Amino acid sequence: MSRNRLVVIGGDAAGMSAAAKVRRLDEQREIIVFERSPHTSYSACGLPYYIGGLVEAADDLVERTPATFRDKYRIDARIRHEVMEIDPGGGRVRVRDLEAGKEFWEGYDDLLIATGAHPRCPEVPGAGARGIYGLNTLQSGINVHQALAREAPRRAVVVGGGYIGLEMAEAMIERGIAVSLVQRGPEVMSTLDPDMGALVSQALREVGVTLYLKEVLTAFAVAGGRATGVITDRRTLEADIVFLGMGVLPNSQLAEAAGLPLGEKGAIRVDTRQRTPRGRIWAAGDCGETVNRITGKPFYVALGTVANKQGTVAGINLAGGDATFPGVVGTAVSKICAVEVARTGLLERELRELEWDYATAVIESRTRAGYYPGAGKVTVKLLAQKGSGRLLGGQIVGREGAAKRIDVVATAVTAGMTVQEVIDLDLSYAPPFSPVWDPVQIAARQLVKKV
């Protein structure tokens, strides 16, 4: 039987990586992509820098337009088309043309779901009010940009101290807007251990963000349908504009309605080839689940790195090849103004839950030789298993040049290296880049004594 038509739902990182890969490997395939927003292949990661004014135009964040996909790849990418329903039995999707206001059914031989994720917002009173913004699509960023120009807000409140919340706080600082941040936990960035999160909280305070830690959002104050404040269990913060930074949830509703099994955090369950148990339906990116390579357990992470790789893997398989996505160790990097933040592997909280015996070391060092101009502070925390000495994770907070050191830690964690093996790595050194002992190795030297 010929399997000629591939339909992709979602025209960004995962969907378009897959579609482009299929086209490179298979000249004949008919490829249709339905994307409900007005853009394809954009960088959501760049939105905070567009909103903050560092990136001038929204178009700068678009990598490939539908016209490029049509002319260069012969991919029929239809923007402003929303898939409303999947009919797995009939092998078709119900699509709404959002411009024409019409609906139609489109058949598929293979279907890739790449619908991404949406910002989490608790169902508190006022949650639907205008003036509350979450970011996911390019259009969502354009909406914020326009609101800032139109309304010239003076006070912003960010609810949630995840990395998108942090980046939005930075964007507001860049624009000279007073910003407060409300966080449920004891420190911002719950993807770090609290001792490292405290360094990030401090960095936020130093750039002028007012923090309200250990406070829970209970409602939004609303007047005339518009949010005028954020109400926590302790106070009301007046706001001209509100941002959501409480993490994201997978857009898996279509899959769920079609009877596909969901896993971690409601993400679509897939195998390592990105295939769902429903043979001809595949999923990739923020809408799907993956595996934590350290624990071997199902895991949910919404990152562009992962989405691009999963899309490519799905594309190879959809073109008849054989590729697998092995999972993640949870590597991520961000920054708040001049302070860089990075993490990989497991947290103390997770290790306690797993009942693994572990040790930690936290050290302070410099990003460059101490005498070299621009040397800044860097704090490195490493975690390892007692007994085996296996490295299990690391977190880094520091000045320019600090964050990308996490890639050494991530590589070591992925390879299952011991702390001693990290010490033995032949890492580079010259005064503009590092002290003689790289900060990661200084931390490893402390840690080896404990494992």
Q: Closer to ligand FAD by CB, 342 or 392: give it.
A: 342
Beta strand residue intervals within 202-253, DSSP E:
210-213, 217-223, 226-232, 236-238, 241-244, 248-250
**DSSP states of 252-290:** -HHHHHTT--B-GGGPBP--TTSB-SSTTEEE-GGGB-E
User: Quick check: helix, strand or coil at residue 205?
Assistant: helix
**Owner of token pair 């999972």:** 327
Q: Site for ligand FAD (CB under 6 A): which residue of 7, 8, 10, 434? A: 10
Write the Ramachandran bin of 337: left for phi over 0, alpha for psi from -120 to 50, otherwise beta.
Answer: left
Rule CB under 6 A: choose which of 6, 19, 114, 179 binds ligand FAD.
Answer: 114
Spell out the residues 6+ positions from residue 345 whose beta carbon is closer than 8 angstroms to its own: 294, 329, 330, 383, 391, 392, 393, 394, 409, 410, 413
Least CB distance to ligand FAD at residue 85 (A):
9
Smallest distance, Å, CB 335 to ligand FAD? Answer: 9
Size, binding site for ligand FAD by CB under 6 A: 34
Nearer to ligand FAD, 112 or 363 (CB): 112
Q: What is the DSSP string of 17-40?
A: HHHHHHHHH-SS-EEEEEESSS-S
Which range in 102-110, 115-123, 174-182, 313-321 contacts ligand FAD by CB under 6 A? 115-123
> Residue 125, Cβ neighbours under 10 Å: how many?
12
Q: Does 285 bind ligand FAD (CB under 6 A)?
A: yes
Site for ligand FAD in 128-147 (CB under 6 A): 135-137
- Told to check if 45 binds ligand FAD by CB under 6 A, we report yes
Q: Give the whole-angstrom CA distance, residue 159 versus residue 245.
A: 6
Active site residue 45: yes
83 lines the binding site for ligand FAD (CB under 6 A): yes
Chain positions 292 to 321 lying near ligand FAD, rule: CB under 6 A, are 302-305, 307
Which CB, 414 or 441, lies closer to ligand FAD?
414
Q: Among candidates 337, 290, 304, 39, which has minimal Cα distance to 172? A: 337
Among 190, 191, 232, 251, binds ligand FAD (CB under 6 A): 251
Query: Looking at 45, 121, 287, 337, which residue is catalytic?
Result: 45
Query: Is 66 or 389 the residue whose CB approaches ligand FAD more closely?
Result: 66
286 binds ligand FAD, rule: CB under 6 A: yes
By CB under 6 A, tell whether 82 contacts ligand FAD: yes
Residue 91's alpha-carbon distances to 47, 109, 135, 269, in angstroms, are 36, 7, 32, 19
Residue positions annotated with a catalytic role: 45
In the complex, which residues of this chain contact ligand FAD (CB under 6 A)? 9-15, 34-37, 44-45, 47-48, 82-83, 114-117, 135-137, 164, 251, 254, 285-286, 302-305, 307
